[in-house]
Amino acid sequence: MRIALRIIGTWLIGLALVLLVIDGTKSLAANEIVMTSLGDIWMQIHAQSLEGMRAFLDSRFFASLLDTVLNALLTYPAFAVIGVPGIVLAILGRRTRRERFLRTEEI
């Protein structure tokens, strides 16, 4: 289970870094800071799935709350939305640390 969390986390961090590099090159070309939102990336990749997600959330019990959360999430930079869960998964997948204390004679 830990290995799966680490692999997924690593892939998400890698994707976030790719998106950060893309935003960096766009920023260099435009001479200003450019951050591509998750909504823009999602519309470029597959707009129909975004509409399907909105329709799915509209049929749920807390539709207005879920729509507000989705709209807020879609306005954040894509590298942050993908990178933060990647970091969390990578941390959850790491091995537990065993503290070993040594005496000075054992060193």
Separation between Cα atoms, residue 105 and residue 100, nearest integer Å = 14
Confidence band (pLDDT; 50, 70, 90) for 107?
Answer: low
Tens digit of each residue's pLDDT (9 = 90 or more) over 25-38: 999 999 999 999 99
Separation between Cα atoms, residue 79 and residue 87, nearest integer Å = 12
Please give the pLDDT value at position 52: 94
CA dihedral sign, ordered 95, 86, 46, 54: positive
Please give the pLDDT value at position 106: 61
At a CB cut-off of 8 Å and minimum separation 6, what does 73 contact?
38, 81
Tens digit of each residue's pLDDT (9 = 90 or more) over 50-77: 999 999 999 989 989 999 999 999 999 9
Instruction: Give the start-to-end residue ranges of the domains of the chain.
Output: 1-33+79-95, 37-76
Count of CB atoms within 10 A of residue 17's CB?
A: 14
Total-model pTM: 0.80
3-state secondary structure (DSSP) of residue 59: coil
